[in-house]
Chain A
């Protein structure tokens, strides 16, 4: 699923030259605070049994709070894909205001 997301979005880097990965500082400043909040949610949901994972279909490595390593990948990869998407849309629709214009 993570590989699918990478393949499905990162081509925008090359073909639409969205230049998201080049701006990794801005990426980290946008992704990490949100990821921190969602990791807390994830740990609560796992502790409460809201959702659970098939042990045979995950790598089996766990980070803090008993969260599978794939979840940390999710909270990094999916937001980066979202940023690439909005940057690609603005690349195509140049007259649409995004809100970060000088």
Chain B
């Protein structure tokens, strides 16, 4: 599978995890989207740093070629899936009473 295909699958998996597995439904909450807006702003800066300096490079065959802030658009899907999943677990464990405060 290409980076594009895996990234799309990862986003779908993260949405299923959010909605049906942890059932925290962060994607319906203002607190998530506000946090994600802050996170994506910084992600674009670090993406630009890592790709414009060629610290990380991508195979043309693995991506569709659309780039945002010098990085493949797939990186944003990768980041969204990772951030949503981690925050889901964080909120899930909090709900379970693990170190809520």
Contacts and interface: CB of A to CB of B under 8 A. Distances in A.
Interface string A54-66: 1001100000000
Given A79-B82, A83-B90, A96 B30 contact: yes
Contact of A89 (B31, B45, B50): B31
B9 to A, nearest CB: 10
Given A33-B89, A79-B83, A82-B83, 4 more contacts: A79-B86, A99-B24, A99-B29, A100-B91
Nearest to B10: A41
Interface of B: 2-3, 6, 10, 24-26, 29-32, 34-35, 38-39, 42, 45-46, 49-50, 53-59, 62-63, 82-83, 85-87, 89-95, 97-101
A45 B83 CA distance: 19
B86 A83 contact: yes
A24 B96 CA distance: 16
Given A41-B6, A99-B29, A29 B98 contact: yes
Interface residues of A, number: 46
A5 B69 CA distance: 17
A99 B42 contact: no
Contact of A31 (B86, B98, B99): B86
Given A26-B99, A78-B82, A99-B24, A86 B90 contact: yes
B93 A30 contact: yes
A51 to B, nearest CB: 5
Contacts of A14: none
Contacts of A38: 82
A34 B38 contact: no
Interface string A1-32: 10011001000000000010001011101110
A50 B3 contact: yes
Contacts of B57: 51-54
